[in-house]
Amino acid sequence: MRLKIAAIIFLSVFALSGCVYMQKVKRADELEQENANLRNQILRLQKEKTREIEDVVKEKERELTELEKAKLELEEALKKEIGDYKAKLEMTERGLVITFLSEVFFDSGKNSIRETGKDSLQRVAEVLNKNVSDSNVAIEGHTDNQPIRHSGWKSNWELSSARALAVLHYLIDECKVSPERLSANGYGEFRPVAQNNTKEDMQKNRRVEIVILPFKISKVKAN
């Protein structure tokens, strides 16, 4: 009798051990499958991230190519101004910067664009509308450090801002540049490119910069 009981207990323990073992094996298989699924998800995410990075790089390369083409077009369009040292073009981290001496557009202390300056802006606008029609454009006014005395402006802030806005409005009203692309800022005398110790250096600081930015306009869809 005792042997039968012992045998039954032994078989029960063996069966229970077998069940526990099989459960452990099953759980191990489940964990391995979960790990495999996680590895696959990680690989998929890595591939998607790589594609996103590649797409961004390609877009930046395309935008740079557009700016380089625009620079070549502007060099030809502004050949006279560049040759007379009244304008220059630079490819910078901000984008393609077109710098004009203020005298190209404005009389001293004024913010009304001169007729000769309008012709220069027309040629710039042709490139803006044809070669980089989706790019944002920043217009920046700058002055020398001489205080306002006779022109009626409160300070160089107001004068530089008014000049930047005058260029902006001319590009919109007369050159048909989309207003959503444009912004205007006046910096007064606080971002000089030369010392204000000589007339030549002060002339360099009195300038208008048109910056073709290396990113596109944001288009919001209406509901």
Domains of the chain: 63-216 (3.30.1330.60)
Q: How confident is the model at residue 2 (pLDDT cuts 50, 70, 90)?
A: low
Q: How confident is the model at residue 12, as a pLDDT?
A: 62
Sequence-distant (6+) residues with CB within 8 A of 159 are: 109, 111, 141, 143, 148, 151, 153, 186, 188
pLDDT value of residue 7: 60
Which whole number is the average pLDDT over 132-159?
95
Summarised one tens digit per residue, pLDDT across range 81-98 is: 999 999 999 999 999 999
Tokens 């560049």, residue located: 82
Q: Is the pLDDT of residue 192 over 80?
A: yes
Q: What is the mean pLDDT of residues 20-49?
A: 77
- pLDDT above 90: residue 32: no
Banded pLDDT at 19 (limits 50, 70, 90):
low
User: What is the percent of the chain with per-residue pLDDT over 70, rounded to a whole number?
Assistant: 81
- Give the whole-angstrom CA distance, residue 219 versus residue 207: 31
Q: Is 66 within 8 Å of 135 (Cβ atoms)?
A: yes
- Across residues 106-114, what is the average pLDDT? 96
| Structure token pair of residue 145 | 């450090």
Closest by Cα among 171, 177, 97 to 133: 177
pLDDT for residue 74 is more than 50: yes
Helix (H) or strand (E) holding 216: strand 207-216
Those residues with Cβ within 8 angstroms of residue 74's Cβ, 6 or more apart along the chain or in another chain: 89, 96, 98, 124, 127
For a pLDDT cut of 90, what percent of the chain falls above it? 65
